[in-house]
Every structure is written in structure tokens, then in C-alpha cells.
Amino acid sequence: MDHFDYRDRTLFCEDVPVPELAEKYGTPLYVYSEAALVANLNEVQTAFRDANPVICYSVKANGNLSICRLMGQHGSGFDVTSQGEFQRALKAGPAAAKVVFAGVGKTDSEIEFALKNGVFLFDVESEQELHAIGAVAQKLGVKADVALRVNPDLPPKTHVKTDTSVKGVKFGLDIETIVDVAKGVVGHPGLSVVGLHMHLGSPILKADPYRMGAEKGLGLIKQFRAQGHDIKYLNMGGGFGINYRKDEAKPASAFADVILPVVKESGCQLILEPGRFIVGNAAVLLSRVVFTKSTGGKHYVIQDAAMNDLIRPTLYGSFHRIWPVAPAAGVPVTPDVNGDPDDPQPFREMPNCFKQDVVGPVCESGDYLAKDRPLPGLTRGDLLAVFSAGAYGMTMSSNYNSRCRAAEVLVSGRTHRLIRRRETFADLVACEEDCLT
């Protein structure tokens, strides 16, 4: 991970020693690198600049207002999937920021809110939604700009729970019927079909699915235009993979190589909705060892971050590198990880390490961050870093077991500041106390 490195056997975020952050803010703690966030956004902007793209940061990946504001300050719009995310974008971004509204279940009130607040484009997921947007727009006396989201029915590309363009998922319009749906709203007084949207899933580690999807999209754009729709935008979504293990992911330029030629042929302006690619490797989750335990031939590291703080391993079986913040002498400074996600042996042999399960305090057997993970011997009070935790970490966290959610800190060079305070018990019961009888 860029901007996180070990110096004299201690992990730093930019120029700040990570133990300093744990001491000041406590644990569990999400630590973000501002330099990494900006560099990752810039990598996408640079790779696709020949298409003059509209880059819309995906708020669902991490909606912290300070992070969203940073994105807006560096030229990004926002991709949102709810009114709450839309409100975050409005609060964080410059007034001119473009907001694309996606999601399969937009309510009439959300549609009205979006139209009244200058939504740039709706990504439409179903025929009923298309007509609902048209009806709300007519009621308001406006026309809604929409992009029809197609499910291009591509082969499986990623985890079954995050693959959104295989047949039978809830997302998008079937490629076999989308042309008829578009034909049905030609001349609609409340709708302007101005784009095609295609999000393939996440994280995707190969560029070829984007080439196949974009080529299918090109044919649809031609058919829409033949119907009379003024198609201006090709939205290829997000989903670019990141290095959770080692070097398994592609740079943004690899995706640009297959997408840009199709964009040029289409005559459209490109829209992209990156989230994980920008924020995923810009953060670590810090935790502190509470106890260690051996039972039934298993070794456990019980630390204070749990499935309510980072649910991805429980939800998806996802992999996050985990390593001590200050490895002892004789222990490798970083784990030796195989970058091939399909290899059943992700680790090479490491001295002074043995297999341990990294678990949390939540009362569930599914509360774990890693299983059978080669780690050195650890003791009470040791700090652990869970890497690649910036995307779908804090944003999917919960208060299960009445646990207060973690604090978040943004590091810039040698300085750091709190961007979300740690919750308190008062926060947990604030919505309930007024209802007591």
C-alpha cells in the first residue's frame, strides 16, 4: 500500500508513526492517507483524460464527509445510491459537482429530491423505475436525464455477491429487452434518455470484461440513436480491483486501454464511478490485542476490532493482510504474501510465525478478520494493522452487540486530524431515549 510503510520496524502512515495515532485516538481506529486518496483519484483522471471523463466518486465505498470533500476539491463528482448519500454529496462537494443517482429501489420521494437538487443523471435499473422517474419529472414540470443500465450477461468475474452483470441478478435491464424499453419512452414528456450505463461488479482484476462490455454497449447505443434518443454518455461504472494481497490488480491505464477506443467510436462522453480503487488501499484499520488463546489445536488472537467494524471477511470471505504495527526482532517486517487470489496457498513460509485466527469480541462464531493466518506470537496490548480497509469498512460498520463504532483519522504528511469521532453510549441510545415511557 502506497503511503503506508515500515521504518525502523514501525508502521508509518505518510510521516506519522501509527502507534502515535493509536495512543491519541484509541482503537479500533481507521487511518486514512490523504496523499493516497488524491494519488488514486489522479491515477484514474490521468489514465482516462483523453475521453474528458466525468469521474464520480462512489460514496457507498466510503461516505465520510471529509473524504467526499477531498474528492470534490480535486475535481470529482459523486455516484450515489440513496437520498442519504445524495445529501452527503451536497454537503461535501462543490455546488457544481455532478451527482449520478444509481440503485434499484429509488422511491418517488428520493426521485423528487434528486430532481429538485440538480441531479446530473439517473442510472435506471428497471422499466418500472424509468416510468416512475418520468411521472415525478412531469409532476414537477421538468425532464429527467437518464442512462439506462444494461446487464450485459457476461461470464462470472468476481465474488458471487458482488458480480452485477451475470444473468439473474437484480441490477440493470436485460440486454435482450433494453432496446424495447428504450423504444417505449421515445418522445416521453418527462424523460430524456441520454446515456447507457454498465457496471460489471467489483473488484474486477482483469481488463477484458470491460472490453467485452463496452463493445456490447456500443451496439446498444447505435440502436438507441436509431430510435431517436440523443445518447451523449457512456457510463462504464467502477469496480476496478485493488491489491488486497500483493500485485494482483491492474493499474487504471490497463482498463483505459480497452475502454477508451470504444468511447471514441461511440462519440460519447465517458462517465466512471470508482470507489474502491480510490479509497480501498488508502486506509488501515488499527486494533489492539486484548487476549491470546489456544484451544482444540487452534490459536486465537482476540483483538478489539470485530465484524461490526469490518464485516467483509465474514460477509464475503474476503482477504485483508494483517500484520503487527511494530514487529519484534526476528520477525519479517511485512508478511510474504502470494499475489495470486486463486492460489490456495497465499503465504510463503515465514520465520517465527504460526497459524492463528484473528477474531473480535462480538458474540458470533463468524466474528473473524482472518483464519489460519501465519502471524508471529503476540501479547496483550500489541497493535495490529488490517490493510486495504478503506472501502466498505467503516461504511458497512454497525453497532451490533451495542458496540460503539470506530473513530476515523486523516493523515496529511506529518499532521493528522479526526474526521469522525468515536461513538459513545449516548449516541447508541439517542434515538431511543425520547421514546421511553
Given the DSSP bridges, would you call strands 283-295 and 322-324 parallel, antiparallel or unpaired? unpaired
Q: Is 410 exposed, middle or buried (CB count within 10 Å of its CB: 0-12, 13-18, 19+)? A: buried
Q: Confirm or deny that 9 is annotated as ligand binding.
A: no
Catalytic residue among 56, 68, 363, 431: 363
Q: Is 147 exposed, middle or buried (CB count within 10 Å of its CB: 0-12, 13-18, 19+)? A: buried
Q: Confirm or deny that 364 is annotated as ligand binding.
A: yes
Q: Confirm or deny that 276 is annotated as ligand binding.
A: yes
Residues 6+ apart with CB under 8 A from 391: 61, 62, 242, 275, 276, 279, 280
What span, in angstroms and rounded, lies between the C-alpha atoms of 382 and 428?
28
What span, in angstroms and rounded, lies between the C-alpha atoms of 160 and 390?
21
- Burial letters for 110-145: b for 16+ Cβ neighbours within 10 Å, e otherwise? bbbbbbeeebbbbbbbbbebbbbbbbbbeeeeebbb
Q: Confirm or deny that 312 is annotated as ligand binding.
A: yes
Question: Is 268 a known active-site residue?
Answer: no
Query: Residues 101, 123: contact at Cβ < 8 Å?
Result: yes
Q: Confirm or deny that 392 is annotated as ligand binding.
A: yes
Return the C-alpha cell found at 146: 437518464
Cell 473488484 found at: 203
Residues 6+ apart with CB under 8 A from 275: 57, 58, 59, 60, 61, 62, 79, 202, 238, 391
How many C-beta atoms lie closer than 10 Å to residue 182's C-beta? Answer: 24
What span, in angstroms and rounded, lies between the C-alpha atoms of 72 and 38?
11
Q: Confirm or deny that 423 is annotated as ligand binding.
A: no
Query: Residues 80, 59: contact at Cβ < 8 Å?
Result: yes
Q: Pinpoint the alpha helices (H) of 48-126.
A: 65-73, 83-92, 108-116
Q: Confirm or deny that 34 is annotated as ligand binding.
A: no
Residue 277, helix vs strand vs coil: helix
Q: Confirm or deny that 125 is annotated as ligand binding.
A: no
Residue count of the chain, please give it. Answer: 437
Q: Confirm or deny that 274 is annotated as ligand binding.
A: yes
What span, in angstroms and rounded, lies between the C-alpha atoms of 161 and 347?
25
Cell 463496452 found at: 214
| Bond prior to 346 in cis (omega within 30° of 0) | no
Which positions are catalytic?
A: 363
Binding-site positions for pyridoxal 5'-phosphate: 239, 273-276, 392
Binding-site positions for substrate: 276, 312, 316, 364, 392
Binding-site positions: 239, 273-276, 312, 316, 364, 392
